[in-house]
Amino acid sequence: MNDYSKLSEKAELIYKFDKKTPLFAIAASKRIADNNLEEAEKMLSEGLVNFPDYTTAYLTLSKVLLKLGKEEEARAALDKGLELNPNNKTKEYYEALFAGKEEAEDEIDPIMKEINEEILPEKPEDEDVAEEEEFVSETLAAVYKAQGAFEEALKMYEKLIEKTPEKEDIYRSEIEELKKKIN
């Protein structure tokens, strides 16, 4: 499983637990891959209510709407995305996609590539270092706890202490509660 697949899987878990997470666009990408375009459209539209400046979500929504044959809505989503990020390469790619050029659909989406590069750290050669650089969030810790994966939740809270020491008391309380459940 590659790094993006791991991230996508965790984003999906977080989205199931918290529909207002900014990870909705990554969770929607799984729906797109599964050709569940109506569900992807719904997730993206609802997510954009909470995150109205999320460029990638608008651009992804424009592709979904275009595939669904909703060209006017697709164009509006594209225009909003390009207004937020007027990158020329992005504009060229989406204009080609809207013009129906086959090669645009076959290329790797430059925006998703850019996101992957920003979200995913470069893979270090030392696996111990790679383990420490994984995705860490309070929501994911809560998901693990709710699913009964207490050891995973405990590890996540320990990492959160390092990430946000100002919340150490809260995380220590969670850790103590989890230790009792493990033993």
Break the chain into its structural domains and give their ranges: 3-119, 136-182
| pTM exceeding the 0.75 threshold for the entire prediction | no
- C-alpha 137/C-alpha 39 separation (Å) is 25
* Phi-psi category of residue 164: left, alpha or beta, with phi > 0 → left and psi -120 to 50 → alpha: beta
pLDDT above 80 for 25: yes
pLDDT of residue 106: 46
DSSP 39-80: HHHHHHHHHHHH-TT-HHHHHHHHHHHHHTT-HHHHHHHHHH
6, pLDDT greater than 90: no
User: By percentage, how much of the chain surpasses pLDDT 90?
Assistant: 19
State the Cα angle at 7 between 125 and 114, rounded to 5°: 80
Residue 134: the pLDDT is: 65
Which architecture, in CATH terms, is 3-119? Alpha Horseshoe (1.25)
